Amino acid sequence: MFQQEGQMLARVFSCAVNGLDGVMVEVEVDIAQGLPAFTIVGLGDTAVHESRERVRAAIRNSG
């Protein structure tokens, strides 16, 4: 399956917690040729760095 330049593979809506409020966020997934890696972009706080390890573990354990 090949995709055209500039198109996302998947786009889903999720929710993030901001203080006591829930905020809707849009999550986009794109794939490209190259070495296996993934990048998480967004807020540059500790939660983003921790989520990277959680995503890596989920991918590894998903079979």
CA of residue 58 relative to chain centroid, distance: 12
Give yes or no for a contact between 10 and 4, defined as CB atoms under 8 angstroms apart: no
For the whole model, what pTM was predicted? 0.48
Rounded Cα distance, 52 and 38, in Å? 9
Mark the ranges of the chain whose per-residue pLDDT is less than 50: 1-3
